[in-house]
Amino acid sequence: MLETGWFTAAEDWVETHALSAHEFATFGFAMAVLLCLVLIFLLFSGLRALVTRMRNAAGARAFRRSKEPGYRILLARPAGPGAGRTRKWLTAAIQDHLAEFNFGAPFRVVGTGQITGGSEQKILAEARKRLATADADMLVWASRIGKGADGLVVQGLSRGGGLRADEARAFSIPLPGRFDALDDEMPRVAAYLLAKKLQPALANPQAFRPEKMKLLAEALDEMMAGSGGIAPVVRSELEADFCASGVHVAEAMGDLAALDRVIAMRRGHLEAVDTTSDSALVSQARMDLGRALLARAEKQFDQKTVQEAIAHLSQVVEALRGDPSIQKAQTASDAMFKAQTMIETRKRFSMNFGS
């Protein structure tokens, strides 16, 4: 009787505190359904990734087979918040303004999937592979990381200068992260900076006719005036390119208005920074100012102008003398000159006295 009572009490406790057989069956069925749903989701995710990779590869191969002349640009889907809006803005910036800075050369822009891979090395490896498959000149992608002056990072690989795909140079361009800061001249700024990656000769104004550089200098002046929210490093690049173009135009065409703008800009830059430092920006500002002053003196001679130019250029020379790379170049040049002298001396000795 005692054992029977104990068994009955245990049975009552199980029925009270544990699931019944029917409830266990229902729970098992629900878990099976959930597991099936997870498996289906994983299957479709894998299929979607596979289809995306196949579509990207097919699009890249079709781009490669295209016989249309001009630059080929792949634009990957951006990452981060507002990806669709970012892609639309970047596409419009390239389509609307790139031709202005590659002087009318034809180009095509084709979309491709997002560049993924986790680490920076894997992302670059994937980008380089896609660039080679499409035989494109440039691959561009972007990611929004914040709302500051460098919150939108435009990255890519460029074969500008005739490089192979495995030699393509990686680049990164910081732009404002807020959408309301991407108006005015900012699309032209983005297009210009991408044009420089696509056509590196833009950094050397002497490689182009002065008439083209005059238009470029005017465009750069407008961009600087209409893009107040850009990162300091981008503004410095625009200023340096404007000054180099302005000096080249003045030397070739005698455009004193552009020259006076360069002189005023570079004087203002040197007044606003610590000129005792040997930074590259200070040296560049002194170089631009010295060249601009000399170009002005050639058109309207003034001894004080020449003396000021000499003062700035001499400081640039002094700063370069302490540069280890310049010292190495000078050492190599001296050694090469010594070797050439030995050869010439040996030739003269052989001609006069025989070997």
CA separation for the pair 240, 269 (Å, rounded): 11
Residues 288-298: b if buried by 16+ CB within 10 A, e if exposed: bbbbbbbbbbe
pTM: predicted TM-score of the whole model, two decimal places: 0.72
- The arithmetic mean of pLDDT across residues 282-305, rounded, is 84
The closest of 236, 258, 231 to 247, measured between CA atoms, is 258
Q: Answer yes or no: is pLDDT of 19 > 60.
A: no
Query: Higher-confidence residue: 122 or 58?
Result: 122
First to last CA, the chain: 130
CA separation for the pair 107, 137 (Å, rounded): 10
Give percent of the chain above pLDDT 90.
17
Tell me the backbone φ, ψ of residue 117, rounded to 5 degrees.
160, -10
Q: Answer yes or no: is pLDDT of 66 > 70.
A: no
Lowest mean pLDDT among 32-41, 125-134, 272-281, 344-353: 344-353
- The arithmetic mean of pLDDT across residues 275-286, rounded, is 75
Q: Answer yes or no: is pLDDT of 17 > 60.
A: no
Query: Higher-confidence residue: 106 or 278?
Result: 106
Lowest mean pLDDT among 43-47, 103-107, 273-277: 43-47
Query: Higher-confidence residue: 132 or 47?
Result: 132
- The arithmetic mean of pLDDT across residues 241-256, rounded, is 85
CA 216 to chain centroid, in Å, comes to: 20
pLDDT of residue 2: 46
- Convert the pLDDT of each residue in 96-132 to its tens digit: 999 999 887 888 888 888 887 677 888 888 889 888 8
Q: Residue 341 — pLDDT band, cuts 50, 70, 90?
A: low
Q: Answer yes or no: is pLDDT of 16 > 90.
A: no
Q: Answer yes or no: is pLDDT of 178 > 60.
A: yes
Q: Residue 339 — pLDDT band, cuts 50, 70, 90?
A: low
Write down the residue that tokens 């792949």 correspond to.
Answer: 74
Interstrand relation of 138-144 and 152-158 (parallel, antiparallel or unpaired): antiparallel
Provide the token pair at 272: 């606003």
Residue 244: other Cβ atoms inside 10 A? 23
CA distances from 182 to 85, 175, 290 (A): 11, 8, 35
- Beta-strand runs (E) in the chain: 71-76, 107-112, 138-144, 152-158, 169-175
- Convert the pLDDT of each residue in 133-172 to its tens digit: 888 899 999 988 888 888 899 999 998 888 888 889 999 9
CA separation for the pair 150, 143 (Å, rounded): 11
Q: How many CA atoms lie within 13 A of 324 on its CB side?
A: 0
- The arithmetic mean of pLDDT across residues 58-83, rounded, is 72
Q: 270 Cβ partners below 8 Å, 6+ apart?
A: 282, 285, 286, 289
Q: 224 Cβ partners below 8 Å, 6+ apart?
A: 235, 238, 239, 242
Q: Answer yes or no: is pLDDT of 230 > 90.
A: no
The closest of 227, 228, 173 to 197, measured between CA atoms, is 173
Mean residue pLDDT of the chain comes to: 79
- The arithmetic mean of pLDDT across residues 335-339, rounded, is 62
Q: Residue 281 — pLDDT band, cuts 50, 70, 90?
A: confident
Query: Higher-confidence residue: 56 or 190?
Result: 190
Q: Answer yes or no: is pLDDT of 70 > 90.
A: no
The helix (run of H) or strand (run of E) holding residue 184 is none
Amino acid present at 70:
G
CA separation for the pair 136, 138 (Å, rounded): 6
CA separation for the pair 217, 213 (Å, rounded): 6
